[in-house]
Amino acid sequence: MRAPSLLLACAATTLAALVALAPHRAVQAAPVAPSAGPEVGIGPVTKLPLPRYASLKTDRVNLREGPSKDHRTLWVFQRAGLPIEIVAEFETWRRIRDSEGTEGWVLHSLLSGRRTSIVTAGKTKDKNGDKAAIPLFARADDKADEEARLQAGVIGSVKTCTGTWCRVIVSLPQKGGDLDGYIHQDRLWGVYPNERVE
């Protein structure tokens, strides 16, 4: 008679574990990125759109496996201003995704609403076979003067976006400080296609 009760105890423990995991799995499911803007859903905590872009507030942000400090750290971000996408909310925690698709949970106090973006790799290659640098124009016009050519991975502050062009400020110490210019919106990660930022 002990064997059936042992089996029932194991089954009950397994069922309890699955029930305990179910809410986390539901919260962790990543929504499909929108094609025309962030208005896909509303966050249950902030009542702001989900998903939406934000940025890291500090130079050290622990990305955790789940929404509490008891969960292990998966990654440590070490760059303030890095753009991220908020894909879920749970109490004081936000599930985020970085430009490489890595996801995890961070405390909301480590995030900023300041919009930043990362330059993505060019579609063409230069004479060395590397991805071509992306031009930063003086005006929102392909015929305007180039302020600089930006490599993939350069981070800039987003000032405005029209749905086609974004005005960004990029810090380039080797060029003498900050550069203010325009870049094609589809060359940035941190703004949605056709999104307007004012």
Helix (H) or strand (E) holding 145: none
Phi first, then psi, for residue 37 (nearest 5°) are 145, 170
- Quick: pLDDT tens for 72-104: 999 999 999 999 999 999 999 999 999 999 999
Closest of 193, 36, 196 to residue 120, by C-alpha = 193
Q: What is the pLDDT of residue 29?
A: 34
Is the model's pLDDT at 32 over the cut of 80?
A: no
pTM here?
0.74
Q: Please check the confidence at residue 4 and state whether its pLDDT lies above 50.
A: no
Report all structural domains of the chain as residue ranges with CATH numbers, in order of start.
29-114 (2.30.30.40), 118-189 (2.30.30.40)
- Please write the tens of the pLDDT for every residue from 147-156: 999 999 999 9
Query: Within its chain, how far is the Cα of 119 from the centroid?
Result: 13
76 pairs with which residues across the strands?
Answer: 62
CA distances from 98 to 25, 36, 106 (A): 19, 19, 12
